[in-house]
Structure 1
Amino acid sequence: MSVQLNHTIVHAGDRDETAAFLVDVLGLEPAPVYGPFRVVTLSNGVSLDVVQAGDAVPPQHYAFLVGDEEFDQIWGRIKERGLTYWADPHHQRPNQINTNDGGRGLYWSDPNGHNLEIITVPYGGG
């Protein structure tokens, strides 16, 4: 068997709000409860297990590889919700997307300050 990422834990100030935000913006299925987690499942089977962590949540980075159609849909939902987005991870180029590696990408923040990213081509090119 090859090595694959199965799941990761996402700490949240509000577990349910964070899971709902991810499901809504990314266009995913509702996140069921499993123990202390809301399980947000991605199309490749990897899950983001969102857990209640309290008020002090250290920001993390989560990047999602998406197709062109999904990129347009997610970007549309980001704009519809009035969320600020950036072309770069340091948030220096607001309301822009990037065309790194021959694809498209953008960054935005979740309610906890996690830096979320969508890209259509993996780093280094396809």
Structure 2
Amino acid sequence: MIVLNHTVVPVADRHRGARLLAGLLGLEVGAPAGPFAPVRVNDDLTLDFDDRSGARPGHYAFLVDDGVFDAALAFAERSGLSWGSAPRLIDHQINHLGGGRGVYILDPDGIAYEFFTAVP
């Protein structure tokens, strides 16, 4: 068995980065773990936000249900985040690749969070 347990997300401000992802997913930021601000995504995966080496653009993709998708997009709109139908394309459109819905939400550090739903 192989399970991705955690990964480090390099950001300019670990607290801001963790709060942003937690807000998109409707989660809480965990207690600090050493130099990291962790967001536990599910029972198997935690994203550890780290600001010790500065921000680097990245791409993190999440398969979500319709409720999480709608909530993430609403959070992005309320927060004034850039979003669109393809990576780095700010067209405020949802794609329908693979038969579901997909969107890319950009954070201030250039990280693209992709949210997509399964084929209905």
TM-score w.r.t. the length of structure 1 is 0.86
Q: Given the alignment, which residue of 109, 115, 119 partners 2:116? A: 119
CA separation in 1, counterparts of 2:46 and 2:70?
A: 22
Q: CA deviation at 1:31?
A: 2.5
Q: Does 1:58 align with 2:56?
A: yes
Q: How far apart are the structure 2 equivalents of 1:44 and 1:67?
A: 17
- The aligned residue for residue 107 of structure 2 is 110
Any gaps of 5 or more consecutive residues in structure 1? none
* Amino acid in the other structure paired with 1:67: D
Task: State the secondary structure of the residue aligned to 1:34.
Answer: coil
- 1:44: how far off? 4.1
Residue aligning to 1:29: 28
Q: Distance in 1 between matches of 2:79 and 2:88?
A: 21
In the comparison of the two structures, how many residue pairs are matched? 120
Q: Is the 8 A contact 2:81 2:107 kept in 1?
A: no
Partner Cα separation in structure 1 for residue 65 and residue 56 of structure 2: 29
Query: 1:20·1:30 contact (CA, 8 Å) conserved in 2?
Result: yes
Distance 1:111 1:21 in 2: 10
Counterpart Cα distance in 2 of 1:112 and 1:9: 14
Partner Cα separation in structure 2 for residue 77 and residue 13 of structure 1: 21
SS at match of 2:4: coil
The structure-2 alpha-carbon separation of the partners of 1:94 and 1:44, relative to structure 1 and needing over 3 Å to count, comes to farther
- What value does the CA root-mean-square deviation take over the aligned residues? 1.7
Structure 1: which 4+ aligned runs deviate by more than 6 Å? none
CA shift for structure 1 position 58: 2.1
- In the alignment, which residue of structure 2 is the partner of 1:99? 96
Unaligned runs of 5+ in 2: none
- Amino acid aligned to 1:13: A
Once residues 117 and 53 of structure 2 are traced to their aligned partners in structure 1, the CA distance between those partners, rounded to angstroms, is 33
Matched AA of 1:34? A
